[in-house]
Amino acid sequence: MTTTTLNDTSGRWNIGLWVAQILLLLLYAFAGFMKLTQPIPDLAAMMGWPGMVPTALVRFIGLAEVAGALGMLLPMLTKIQPRLTLLAALGLSVLQVCAIIWHMIQGEFSVLPVNLVLLSLAILVLWGRRSKLPL
């Protein structure tokens, strides 16, 4: 009975982690693609901050988001360096910590809940794939 309970729990954790990874993939791929392809004035009208920083930084953040999004799924699906998923989760966590600090400095507290949810999901994947269900 212990084995069945353990397997059921592991299966639930695995499903939960995959859901978190897919959510991160979708959200970051969309946001990163926009930052890579949209004109800065359009991004500034939507988000504000892209008009306050150098264009190269906006594009770099977009590239980091797309890379992190792909890192959530591709290494594990292809079974090529699946530990890269941990690095992707770590990178997205660092990105969100930076975003939280930026928004706090700017007094943009209304966007912090979104940043905190994204940070929580990335930390969940990092912890889950490192400790709970190691790769």
- pTM score, whole prediction: 0.89
Q: How far apart are CA 108 and CA 80, in angstroms?
A: 40
Q: What is the tens place of the pLDDT at every residue in 76-135?
A: 999 999 999 999 999 999 999 999 999 999 999 999 999 999 999 999 999 999 998 887
Please name the residues in contact with 113: beta carbons below 8 A apart, sequence gap of 6 or more: none
Is the pLDDT confidence value at 66 over 50?
A: yes
How sure is the predictor about 5, in pLDDT bands with cuts at 50, 70 and 90?
Answer: low
Q: Averaged over 36-47, what is the pLDDT?
A: 96
Is the pLDDT confidence value at 1 over 50?
A: no
Q: How far apart are CA 107 and CA 10, in angstroms?
A: 41
Q: How far apart are CA 84 and CA 93, in angstroms?
A: 14
Q: Averaged over 12-19, what is the pLDDT?
A: 94
The pLDDT of residue 45: 95
Q: What are the structural domain ranges in the chain?
A: 2-132
